[in-house]
Structure 1
């Protein structure tokens, strides 16, 4: 199995697309590994930390989406996103994430990602507010389900040193997904994470239960803020 590393252990063969992730807020809860296992694509299993599985709720801004070496896509290449994700590994030992939902406030990227990659994007209203001392996100899906999430946090420029668990949850160099009945791995690479001090002020969410998991009963076990990183994705690789 691959080690947890601050930089990707594998170079990309070529760049399929590029993007920036900005102003990320990560919330994590412990979850039953059996609950995770039933939601993962074939050929993968839960990636556990000291025998425990986790679900993540991640809020951020996507900017400067671009394909290959081309220019960034204007307007449609920048949007708010809120995702629910699980942690996976495959028979080659590659660690990844499995997205159970990805809320996005641009319809065309939602349709493109669902069709081209089989990813569970959902069209949503997402509002973001960043001040000198804090950040807030609010999402609500447009499908009438009422699913969504809100978070408010106080942010300071003081650096924060992530724990071993938090490195395990954030040092992820690919995703596992299923398209037309086949599981694939989509690799990515980006610079080392930097985190800043973050105090959770409030949150409310129904996205985790909508993703097929029990709604968290307790406060998150980890709250992180990252200013952001540029990210590159390589071509998808079928699992053996």
Structure 2
């Protein structure tokens, strides 16, 4: 089961950031619908028999490459939205798999080098009292959304809450390899959330059916001092010679 706190301290770090005003909008799916979008070797992770897909818009702030002293200005703040699902690797490791990532900062497109599906997006975020309003659209492509979430009371996370919001690895695919990017941060401070308004075409744009149920929602004011480790190749994708790679 997913641990609430980080699995380990990262000795090597490539990036530090704050992830703020993050909404988590979760839909259950048939595992076969999600599995059809995954590369060979990865399998859809499930909770209570369902695979889950989550829309997560948020603000990236204080972004700074590791090793850059605090006296040097950070890269600034920008918005990101990802549509993600939950997977297991050949060794059972649990991780995120990003179906699409829209970002307003061109520098983040460099993560395409390890297969992260980053795209330039036109994104916005407004917060008025207890309501966060987000919108986003990929520039020159399909997929857009408008979302307003009302932030509710803090919660003591249940097993399902942790499973839906927390992963310490993200997998990507590039050049026939599955890459693993580790992350470390404080546990998410979670609140209940309620959708005030939602229209979206991101799920159908990535090849999923339109959600058949209302979403489950969380909100978090965010975590600071997020540490992202270097991406490393872990497995050859199915259909390639060999299995796990040594590092």
Name the TM-score, length of structure 2 as normaliser.
0.88
Q: 1:216 aligns with which of 205, 211, 214?
A: 211
CA RMSD of aligned residues (A): 1.8
4+ long deviations beyond 3 Å: 71-77
Give the secondary structure class of the aligned counterpart of 1:213.
coil
Label 1:120 to 1:79 Cα distance change in 2 as closer, same or farther (>3 A): same
1:61 is matched with: 59
Q: Distance in 2 between matches of 1:41 and 1:71?
A: 39
**Alignment of 1:237 onto 2:232:** yes
Label 1:150 to 1:76 Cα distance change in 2 as closer, same or farther (>3 A): farther
Name the TM-score, length of structure 1 as normaliser.
0.90
2:149 is matched with: 153
Shift of 1:71: 4.7
The answer for unaligned runs of 5 or more in structure 2 is 235-243
- Within 5 A, what are the aligned runs for 1:114-153? 114=112, 116-145=113-142, 147-153=143-149
Q: Distance in 1 between matches of 2:149 and 2:193?
A: 6
The answer for unaligned runs of 5 or more in structure 1 is none
- Within 5 A, what are the aligned runs for 1:39-54? 39-54=37-52
Give the secondary structure class of the aligned counterpart of 2:27.
strand
Q: Distance in 1 between matches of 2:128 and 2:180?
A: 37
Q: Distance in 1 between matches of 2:63 and 2:100?
A: 19
1:226 is matched with: 220
Deviation string 1:111-158 (CA, Å, 9 cap, x unpaired) is: x122x322111111111101222110010121143x1111112224x3
Give the secondary structure class of the aligned counterpart of 2:230.
coil
Q: Distance in 1 between matches of 2:231 and 2:132?
A: 34
2:6 is matched with: 8
Number of matched pairs:
233
More deviation in 95-104 or 135-144? Answer: 135-144
